Chains A and B, each alone.
Chain A
Amino acid sequence: MIGYFLVGAAFGAILMEAEAISWFRIQEMFRFDAFHMYGIMGAAVAVAAGSLLVIKRLGLRGADGQPLGLPPKRLGSGLRYVVGGSIFGVGLALTGACPGPLVALVAGGVPVMLAALVSALVGTWVYGLLRPRLPH
């Protein structure tokens, strides 16, 4: 468990120092005024993709014998991804933060984000409540 804590701590520190948790940086991104956030996302995806390929090539397995890899997401109608994604996009531009950054902001300088974080938990809870009636 200490491993997860340390990787999480490194992730939190990088998010802070790269200013990826800043509302201003998110605005800069959505206004296409800087390459910074696109560079971060692009490089992260490239390195993660390369690592996944290497892991697959080497046929690495976990302690339980299962091959290491990400579980595939079910496509279904695809609606949940487009609609849910768009709803999250609105929240992202309003708060200037994704779920991880919400937590990092509470830790590192914008305490009122605690209210946004609690509200996000309520949002997830309401989704759970409405889930049987929503198209997926």
Chain B
Amino acid sequence: MPHPLPWYIAGPLIGLVVPALLLLGNKAFGISSNFRDICAAVAPAGIEFFGHDWKKTGSWNLVFLSGLFVGAMIAAAVAPPPVQISAHTVDALRAIGVHDFSGLAPHDVFAWSSLLTLRGFLCIIVGGFLVGFGTAYAGGCTSGHAIAGLADGQLPSLLAVIGFFAGGLATTFLLLPRIL
């Protein structure tokens, strides 16, 4: 298996998830809805946003998500990706304090032992929180907005994707150099 799987194979296959879910049961591709459904299942706490019938609307998506988990686990075991990124990115990251380029994410930051360091806490805990908060606020993530929404020509999704980039670029060039 070539690594990474080339974009012209991976991209179209990911795009086909949208019609596949429609044909299977007229379902809209969107991973972050699962977060809302899990909150509704685990701790609804009388909050209106979690008062929906998650079993009725979200069971299929939780099954999809468990498939994602198993598929990623098998793929990582059978053909672990080496992740050889551009030399330019390596130099830029080395300059701001990343030294381990061996895994899917830098071990200097993404390890249990760095959870209580400032950069580990910011990248893992604060970053995770913002992913959950931001996708719920925006009503979707990369799958729902950047793939399905854009493909359907929906203006709200374009606004969301502009936001994804604004936040990502600001973090990459202003925040990461200060915390890594």
Contact = CB atoms under 8 A, between A and B. Distances in A.
A33 B88 contact: yes
Contact of B86 (A18, A33, A74, A97): A33
| Interface bracket on B | 35 or more
Contact of A41 (B77, B146, B148): B146
Contacts of A103: 31, 65, 68-69, 72
* Residue among A38, A90, A110 with most chain B CB within 10 A: A90
B51 to A, nearest CB: 9
Given A47-B16, A70-B149, A28 B86 contact: yes
B54 interface: no
Contacts of B151: 44-46, 48-49, 51-52
A95 B35 contact: no
A66 B148 CA distance: 19
Contact of B159 (A20, A81, A124): A81
Contacts of B130: 87-88, 90-91, 94, 123
B71 A8 contact: yes
Contacts of A42: 11
A76 B176 CA distance: 33
Interface of A: 1, 3-28, 30-31, 33-49, 51-52, 54-55, 60, 62-64, 66, 68-75, 78, 80-100, 102-113, 115-129, 131-132, 134
Interface of B: 1, 3-29, 31-32, 34-36, 38-39, 42-43, 45, 47-50, 59-61, 63-77, 79-81, 83, 85-86, 88-89, 92-93, 101, 103-106, 110-112, 114-115, 122-143, 145-157, 159-173, 175-176
Given A8-B65, A107-B72, A128-B48, 19 more contacts: A9-B74, A15-B68, A16-B71, A17-B5, A27-B93, A33-B89, A47-B14, A85-B138, A88-B133, A89-B165, A91-B127, A93-B172, A100-B141, A103-B72, A105-B105, A120-B35, A123-B130, A126-B133, A127-B132
8 contacts: A41-B146, A81-B163, A99-B31, A104-B72, A119-B127, A120-B35, A121-B35, A134-B137
